Amino acid sequence: MLSIPDAAAKDLPLRLGLSQAHFLAAFPIGTPDSRGVRLIQLSEATIDESSLPTAARKPGKRMRPTQSVNGLNETFLKSAGPLDLVFYDVNDPEDKRFWAGTAFYIIGGLRKAGNHVHVIGRLAPRLRRLLIAAFYHSYRLTQKLHYHPDRHLALTKLFSAIGTRRLQKYPSADAIITVSAAFSAYLRTSKPIIVLLDATWGQIVETYPYFHSSMQPKHIVASGFKLDQIAFSKPNLHLVMTSQWAAGRAIVDYNIHPARVHILPFGANFREDPARENVERALRNRSGERCSLLFVGREFERKGGPLAVQIAGELRTFGIDVTLHIVGCSPQNLPSFVKVHGLLSKDSVEHLSLLDTLYSESDFFLMPSTAEAQGIVFNEAAAYALPVAASDVGGVSAVVSNGDWGLLLPPGAEAKEYAVWLAALFRDRPRYIRTALRARDDYEKRLSNTAYTRELTKIVQSIVQAHERPALLKDRSIDRSVRY
């Protein structure tokens, strides 16, 4: 609970750039709304769990769709001219630290594809930092819980009101794009909202240790489900999910018609793609005498770092001289065949050069994660023609082509199972070269940022055109006998 002095409260609408009427619509002064939220005192939201989807009340088993989810017919693509888009978030979408840079690279790719992209972000940053700091330290110090501000219902409603006001500056925009379902829930607009997601809140809570319900305040977990429910029920909101794993779950849990759900894996986070001629030259220089494995991830445990070390050890028992390179984290007390490089920033020329060298000179990319919504590093491995060995969790299979240029094993697979595949491919150089080139081919076809933003533009065009022809968006009943 955070108290705001009366004097500051009376001046707050002006400081946030909101009209008094607009602000009062969200937070009535002196009178609690139906959720018990006051202007002066931002109290915890009260949520009736009976109104939430089953997955919100009691997270269950993950369900994988059994059939593809098709988007709107491309016959209705906008015939001419670039799109006029607004990329929206409460945070700064053009900050490469936000969402691991994914939003930044998508915005750049959309512009490169010829679209006009306006950016709305950094909404009342000082106030947001103050509120987040107060709540974060309160929960962390007193309850030892993680605080996820973007799923705080009261704060989300407040900052969405600011976002709604900012949207009025772009009346001619064709559509709004965002990477946040939560900040779409209370966004007031009749324009199409396209949300780019790799997982639903339920999947995040169920699979990511940091977000487990036992690690967060109960009201944050519950409001996360509530925000998804509000957002996904909007008839003008469309989802572009990175995998069938994510798309199917959204359809089943929130009764979304498949026509409003599209599947498109995120592209790689590169300013410029590694040149094919350079990649092929590096591939020819991989001699097959020493095997270099590359692991890239900030969370050593969740990304399967301990298993990666075991896999490298197994390869050594096969008589293969192995070095495992670890980037993104700095685990301690590892065997001598493991080389730790720590966190490398793409904003540093020196670090970027080292990353390029590691990707170019490695033989395989190895990341057997325990939880992974997509893993953009798999795209980047394909860019450098690196065969991949990973665990088949979450949406990884939407990127890594199992049996073509990668190996996906079920969770719980032993290190030896990975090592057998890696050793066989490493020793068969002609097959290794063919496999590596297929990875690069797949990258150019569908895994680069250029490919992603090209397909995303088509999807947005179809949605915009359909909104101009409302009959195309008419909801039809869903056959619930079909299990997605």
Please check whether residue 430 lies inside any domain of the structure. Answer: yes
Amino acid at residue number 263: I
**Token pair listed for 429:** 């150089």
Burial label, 323 (beta-carbon count in 10 A; 0-12, 13-18, 19+):
middle
Identify whether residues 142 and 210 lie together within a single domain: yes
Identify whether residues 52 and 180 lie together within a single domain: yes
Identify whether residues 401 and 282 lie together within a single domain: yes
Beta carbons of 359 and 294 less than 8 angstroms apart = yes
Identify whether residues 308 and 438 lie together within a single domain: yes
Identify whether residues 228 and 324 lie together within a single domain: no
Q: Say which residues have a Cβ less than 8 Å from residue 81's Cβ, sequence separation at least 6.
A: none
Residue 200: domain span? 17-267
Identify whether residues 248 and 139 lie together within a single domain: yes
Please check whether residue 10 lies inside any domain of the structure. Answer: no
Type and span of the H or E element at 306: helix 305-317
Please check whether residue 484 lies inside any domain of the structure. Answer: no
Q: What is the largest CA-CA distance in the chain?
A: 74
Q: Is 27 helix (H, G, I), strand (E, B) or coil?
A: coil
Identify whether residues 72 and 195 lie together within a single domain: yes
Identify whether residues 201 and 222 lie together within a single domain: yes
Identify whether residues 262 and 281 lie together within a single domain: no
Whole-number pLDDT of residue 12: 54
Q: How far apart are CA 271 and CA 384, in angstroms?
A: 15
Whole-number pLDDT of residue 156: 92
Q: How far are the Cα atoms of 372, 382, 431, 433, 441 from residue 424, in angstroms, in the given order?
A: 26, 20, 10, 13, 22
**Token pair listed for 56:** 């919100």
Burial label, 126 (beta-carbon count in 10 A; 0-12, 13-18, 19+):
exposed
DSSP assigned state of 44: P
Amino acid at residue number 176: I
Q: Reading across the β-sheet that carries 338-342, which strands appear in turn?
A: 338-342, 322-327, 291-296, 364-367, 388-391, 406-409
Q: pLDDT 10s digit of each residue in the chain, 484 long?
A: 444 445 445 555 554 555 555 545 555 555 544 444 444 344 343 444 444 554 454 444 333 333 333 444 444 454 447 999 999 999 999 999 898 899 999 999 999 999 999 999 999 888 888 888 888 778 887 888 988 888 999 999 999 999 999 999 999 999 999 999 999 999 999 999 999 999 999 999 999 988 999 999 999 999 999 999 999 999 999 999 999 999 999 999 999 999 999 999 999 999 899 999 999 999 999 989 999 999 999 999 999 999 999 999 999 999 999 999 999 999 999 999 999 999 999 989 999 999 999 999 999 999 999 999 999 999 999 999 999 999 999 999 999 999 999 999 999 999 999 999 999 999 999 999 999 999 999 999 999 999 999 999 999 999 999 988 765 555 433 333 333 3
Of the three residues 267, 299, 314, the one that is the final residue of a domain is 267
Whole-number pLDDT of residue 7: 47
Of the three residues 234, 267, 300, the one that is the final residue of a domain is 267
Beta carbons of 299 and 376 less than 8 angstroms apart = no
Of the three residues 267, 292, 313, the one that is the final residue of a domain is 267
Q: Say which residues have a Cβ less than 8 Å from residue 345's Cβ, sequence separation at least 6.
A: 351, 352
Instruction: Please give the tally of structural domains in the chain.
Output: 2
The CATH number linked to 50 is 3.40.50.2000
Q: How far apart are CA 134 and CA 120, in angstroms?
A: 25
Q: How far apart are CA 399 and CA 392, in angstroms?
A: 11
- Pick the closest to residue 105 from 306, 253, 269 (CA basis): 269
Q: Say which residues have a Cβ less than 8 Å from residue 387's Cβ, sequence separation at least 6.
A: 363, 364, 365, 405, 406, 407, 425, 432, 435, 436, 439
Please check whether residue 472 lies inside any domain of the structure. Answer: no
Please check whether residue 432 lies inside any domain of the structure. Answer: yes
CA dihedral sign of residues 72, 199, 152, 102: negative
Please check whether residue 162 lies inside any domain of the structure. Answer: yes
Identify whether residues 252 and 372 lie together within a single domain: no
Please check whether residue 60 lies inside any domain of the structure. Answer: yes
Identify whether residues 40 and 168 lie together within a single domain: yes
Long-range contacts of 350-359 (CB under 8 A, 24+ apart): 355/327, 356/274, 358/294, 358/325, 358/327, 359/274, 359/294, 359/383, 359/384, 359/386
Q: Is 84 helix (H, G, I), strand (E, B) or coil?
A: strand
What angle do helix axes 218-232 and 244-254 make, rounded to 10 degrees? 90
Please check whether residue 6 lies inside any domain of the structure. Answer: no
Identify whether residues 263 and 280 lie together within a single domain: no
Rg (CA), the chain: 24
